[in-house]
Amino acid sequence: MEQLVKFNTALIKRYDVAGPRYTSYPTAVQFMEGFDAETYRRYTTASNNELIPKPLSLYVHLPFCHSLCYYCGCMKKVTRHEEQASRYLELLAREIELQGRLFDHDREVVQLHFGGGTPTYHDDAQLHSLVAELGRHFSLSEDESREFSIEVDPRTVGGERLAHLAAIGFNRISLGVQDIDPKVQAAVNRIQDPEATLAMVAESRRLGFNSVSIDLIYGLPLQTVESFARTIDTVVAARPDRLAVYNYAHLPHIFRAQRMIDAKDIPSPETKLKLMELTIDKLTAHGYVYIGMDHFALPNDELTIAQREGGLQRNFQGYSTRRECDLVGLGVSAIGKVGDCYAQNLKDIPSYESAVAEGRLPIWRGISLTTEDRLRRSVIESIMCHGEVRFERIEANFAIDFHDHFALELSQMKQLEADGLIVMGNDGFNVTPEGRLLLRAIAMLFDEHLQSSQSQPKFSRVI
Amino acid sequence: MESSLRVANIRDYRREPSRAQVACSRCALGELCLPRGLTPDETERFEQIVHRSRPIQPGEHLFRAGDEFRSVASVRTGCFKSYVIDHEGQEQVLGFHLPGEIIGLDAIHSCRHVANVIALDTSAVCGLTFDTVSGMARHMPELQSELFRVMSQRISELETIAGDLSADERIAMFLLSLSDRFSRRGYSEKEFILAMSRRDIASYLRLATETVSRVLARFQKAGVVKVDRKQVRILDMDELKTVARKNQD
């Protein structure tokens, strides 16, 4: 179903609570260190033993950056010492071998994503041998429907490098732009020429990339409604297939880099609301469809089609069209999802490297999902991806009576219904166009783990 | 690798005295096991030679190839796999054993077990000292013909597998065989969870592992079955029978 979105300032203000983004459920906060490599192996074995094992999706984390972007909340390492990066790649290759042994080789890799950090910190030869290493230990799909994507920092990549990335096998790229205003760029320490960046969209198309995505951020220091309007207009003119417009969450007590940002330069909550409204208005006016959370796509993009046809799913990069994959996380801090578990690698480079050097899987923590977790994940994913929950489908999959099982949640939803976030029916509920900007506030009602973790504000706010 | 696994010793239930005795007449498996067609008196005599095992955990062996043959076992609950290791060190699966089925008859001629038998699920068996069974069979024609029936069924199962069949036919026949065996035990004939892995199925059916998944995926796409992890739901029994019968007409 094509979904509408409507901006309602009063409602957004009322429901502006800190909450998870539900790229997984349970969220990473719930992962436990008792979940070790042995536990993970049990899940990988079981996943091979399924009658029709799922295809694989690989996420490869490449944490290195040449310089620090002050807004960054990712796991990264800023260094000019390239031997550090080379050593990391060597050990990453070891992990690829260790992980590759765990999966049967008739399981094709249909999705691959290089994220960072800055994957293009590494040169073409390094990236090429990394993909070759993956090909040695996993069966990379040769089908053109495969989705092999890489996050590209336009400051490190010219036209020639793009051609190399295509030759290595990537068919999707996502370009980090954030903002094109020189003052904003200076305030976040990320200076790049907008014209060169946007020329890359056309160049990517010419080189045969199937999909080009651009990342922007609103709420950055010195942004104004006028400046951000220019950013959006300029970016939209290049017509990327997808746009991710993230809300900058200023959490300097968690992300050290953000202490470089002068708090007084950050737009006020009022301005941030206007920036959000502007983003929605402009992008929808330019024909982009609001997928949910931070994501927009053209009407003929696979993401939009998948949402229309009910086949969308949430993943760590946002949304994905691939429902039935086991996800293998490779590299420091990477998260995988195999069968009914999530597993995360060690999050600092030295301990990751020493684990792998000793031939151990570098699992740090994870979680085994209970049936209740799977049930709630299914409800939350339905809210986040499709803006609706059909009771019958959940009941059939989990052998429950929705009204009985979720009596408490349904009574709590009366307030959301009164406020116009959802419309409740006998056989399910739908998120309203106003509610679509508050998906996580709705999803949070079904999060059983939230009560226990709510005391510490580890999550960013909706706005 | 086998040495790390605990072995469920078949003698365990011989040592358990007859207080753990089994009432075959009241067993949920009814007539699936041996005592088919016995008179109440014969059944009672039969019960005296049956011993029930403690639970056997997944990965535990019931018999090992080369073990001296003393007893046969009838599966009460769970599922077992019998296999041999070929000269290249590869495991070759010979069969799967569901409740009510007799394991160990391969050892009669050489007095040693030919196959390894391992539990795939938490299982339990009834043990029968073979000397006693065969001695009794001499005086109980019904028991004797039942023994022949069980052995003959097993031979024909193995001959079918050895035949010249396509992958589709093998898998269709395998699913139908399970459906039949489950339904005779009072379970659904259309929906069951398989204790064995696709690797085991492939080995048993003499197919490549990926072929098992590919064929199942094709059956699923055609709406013949619905597969979820290790669960199979047969949606179109007639079509499955048509596929299985192709080679037999």
Give every CB contact of residue A152 below 8 A, 6+ residues apart in sequence: A119, A120, A162, A165, A173, A174, A175, A176, A200
Do residue A50 and residue B198 have CB atoms under 8 angstroms apart?
Answer: yes
Tell me how many domains chain A contains.
Answer: 2
Residue A381, in any domain of the structure: yes
What pLDDT is attached to residue A383?
96
Q: Are residues A105 and A154 in the same domain?
A: yes
Q: Give me the count of residues in chain B.
A: 249
Residue A2, both tokens: 């094509």
Q: What sections of chain B are H helices per DSSP?
A: 12-15, 40-47, 130-139, 141-162, 167-184, 198-205, 209-221, 237-245
**Averaged pLDDT of chain B:** 84
Q: Is the pLDDT of residue B114 over 70?
A: yes
Q: Name which residue leads in pLDDT, B26 or B14.
A: B26
Q: Which residues of B touch A106 (CB under 8 A)?
A: 209-210, 213
Q: Is residue A311 part of a domain?
A: yes
Q: Of A305, A329, A353, which closes a domain?
A: A329
Q: Considering only the beta carbons, identify the residue of A48, A49, A51 that sits closest to B227.
A: A51
Q: Do domains B2-161 and B164-245 have the same CATH topology?
A: no
Considering the domain architecture, whether residues A5 and A117 belong to the same structural domain is answered as no
Which ipTM did the prediction report? Answer: 0.79
Residues forming a β-bridge with A388:
A430
Is there a single domain that holds both residue A148 and residue A209?
yes
Task: Specify the CATH superfamily of domain B2-161.
Answer: Jelly Rolls (2.60.120.10)
Among A313, A329, A345, the domain boundary falls at A329
- A9 with A79, same domain: the answer is no
The top-level CATH class assigned to B164-245 is mainly alpha
Point out the residue among A51, A104, A106 whose CB comes nearest to the CB of B230: A51
Is pLDDT at B17 greater than 50 in this prediction? no
Residues of chain A with pLDDT under 70: 1-3, 323, 451-463
Per-position DSSP letters for A318-344, written without gaps between them: EEES--S-EEEEESTT-EEEETTEEEE
- Same-domain check for residues A55 and A138: yes
Average pLDDT over residues B58-68: 93
SS (H, E, C) A222-291: CCCHHHHHHHHHHHHHCCCCEEEEEECCCCCCCCHHHHHCCHHHCCCHHHHHHHHHHHHHHHHHCCCEEE
Tokens coding A321: 């069209």
CA distance A65 to A53: 36
Q: Is B72 on the interface with A (CB under 8 A)?
A: no
Q: How do strand A318-320 and strand A313-315 relate by DSSP bridges?
A: antiparallel
Fill in the DSSP letter of residue B112: B
In one-letter notation, the amino acid at residue B15 is: R
Question: Is residue A341, in this structure, part of any structural domain at all?
Answer: no
The predicted-structure confidence for B126-169, as pLDDT tens digits, reads as follows 888 888 888 888 888 888 888 888 888 888 888 877 888 899 99
Q: For residue B90, count other CB atoms closer than 10 A to its CB.
A: 10
Residue that is last in its domain, among A296, A329, A362: A329
Least confident of A304-313, B46-55, B228-237: B46-55
Same-domain pairing of A90 and A202: yes
Which residues, numbered 97 to 116 in chain A, qualify as contacts with chain B under a Cβ-Cβ cut-off of 8 Å?
104, 106
Q: Which CATH number do you get for residue A409? A: 1.10.10.920
Cβ B199–A49 below 8 Å, yes or no? yes
* Chain A nearest C-alpha distance from B118 (Å): 17
Residue A338 covered by a domain = no
Considering the domain architecture, whether residues A196 and A310 belong to the same structural domain is answered as: yes
pLDDT for the residue A189: 95
Q: Which residue shows structure tokens 């051609």?
A: A163
Is residue A34 one of the residues assigned to a domain?
yes
CB A418 within 8 A of CB A411: no
Q: Which domain holds residue A11?
A: 1-26+370-463
Lowest mean pLDDT among A148-152, B34-38, B44-48: B34-38
Q: Most A CBs within 10 Å: which of B193, B199, B213, B231, as the mutation test of the A interface? A: B213
Question: What is the share, in percent, of chain B residues with pLDDT greater than 90?
Answer: 48
What are the residue boundaries of the structural domains of chain B, listed by start? 2-161, 164-245
Residue B76 tokens read as 């009460």
